Structure 1
Amino acid sequence: MGGHEYLAERFEAHRAHLRAVAYRMLGSLTEADDAVQESWLRLSRTDTSDVENLGGWLTTVVGRVCLDMLRSRNSRGEESLDVRVPDPLVSSADGGIDPEHQALLADSVGLALLVVLETLGPAERLAFVLHDMFAVPFEEIAPLVGRTPTATRQLASRARRRVRGTAVVPDADLGRQRAVVDAFLAAARGGDFDALLAVLDPDVVLRADAGTGFGGGSRELRGAAAVAGQALTFQRFAGFARPALVNGAAGIVSAPDGERAAAVLGFTIANGRIVEIDILADPERLRGLDLAVLGG
């Protein structure tokens, strides 16, 4: 086997891990794939004969690529959006999590956590993701963010406090999750405001990222009454809802024509009530969603 082929084979052994890092950093499957591809290009142009730990080296490379992509995203003004819902990982509700998504979903990376990560600055996000999720030492992260190891540790600490302060521990039982989602759907279909209030946590948060469709723009609603009122407008989508796993939790894909997704709804359920709803209804981002995983 030639040198290039051997290098490509070694890179492929790390691809799933690198994609998992990039997904946590970027919240976008397309951008994550772009970051992994850029990491391969950098590897192919670099003499790694002195690199003892290729996996660790590649992890820092993809981290640097993602950091540059986040900074570029911010410089284009994308941080001004009211809310950005990350790309969902959709799997069949009956067949379990798609094998391709297993590595991406390690550590229970639900949409709610990714939304919190979106609120972090690029350097904070890098320090938290690489250290807390992938155990990269601060000494290796520091050069990427141009800080000392001590300052990098402080970045991760601030990010950790943000995550702990906003993260919700969801109910683990998928059957219970599905029962709550089904009750939500039934109430939305029937326009039953009181029934919606019964399944919503008083402090529920709804985030909708619609791009230029679905009413346009993005928005965030807080409180059971406000969210229940908004949910009543989803009656026409509820009629076409198909159960799915969204980032490993009970969710919904609404596909009015049976083929193209009009919306993906991810739910975070704690203590038997819905505490967060994350809706992706951006036609451009949904266009690439593969509904074959839903069995039809």
Structure 2
Amino acid sequence: MTILVIAEHDNQTLKAATLNTVAAAAKIGGDIHVLIAGSNAQGAADAAAKLAGVAKVLLADAPQLADGLAENIEATLIEVAKDYSHILAPASAYGKNVAPRIAARLDVAQVSDIVSVVDADTFERPIYAGNAIAMVRSRDPVKVITVRATAFDPVATEGGSASIETIPAGTDAGVSQCVSREVTKLDRPELTSADVVVSGGRGLGSGDNYRTVLEPLADRLGAAMGASRAAVDAGYAPNDYQVGQTGKIVAPELYIAVGISGAIQHLAGMKDSKIIVAINKDEEAPIFSVADYGLVGDLFDCVPSLLGELDALS
């Protein structure tokens, strides 16, 4: 049994979700190969070769793979896909774009967003916004799977010594092109990989309050900033801050929810956090049902007081 992990990368470094996906592959068992499809991507291939548990890295290097266009990744991967019992990708925008194309070409059913490996054929995945867990068994000869990164601890980035094999790149499909890419530069940790997340909801009342109330707390804790869908829809925070079923799935060591009522959509994106702290003036708010610590009160009083206590401890 040999497993292929489709790596998400920027041609030089691996994205964090790739490490979690390799960890999921290790739970299945068997030899693990990692596909690096990119342009001038030797740096990413070298990083993949060092991952614990990886036996081989497949490097497809060509200009048409530079931007990670799904059609061109598919054309490259399909040539080797039948050599594997399982093909895994992170359940990120990248993985969700590539994996269904591979499953369709192989005429198999995709197993999406797994959070647990029962055995080589059986997996668990959340349904109904995480309110139930479905156990899915696949008898397909090749199992195409996307992995929820927050459900698996990442593998070590050092200790491996995998060989690197160059494979031919698929031809340019010519049906899509990357026109431009704007990368957000953050002075704080990236949301999906941060150890601490401070999120704000509609209770903040405005974008100015979101910044003036939450940013000092996030800066003090070295935290990433998140937001509920309601806060994003109201324009308080940018779209890439959204946590929830239709946003980003996070599971930090500490999640602080400020002025967030706790709609099912939001809980689906953060309830696996190790410690959850909720601040809300409504003691009946659903967020308190998942919180380890709850503070009922006006957030405009509670957050400055909390920040003052933190400053006093330093």
- Shorter chain as denominator, the TM-score bin is under 0.3
Higher RCO, 1 or 2 (CA under 8 Å, sep at least 6)?
A: 1
Give the TM-score normalised by structure 2.
0.27
Q: TM-score, normalised by structure 1?
A: 0.28
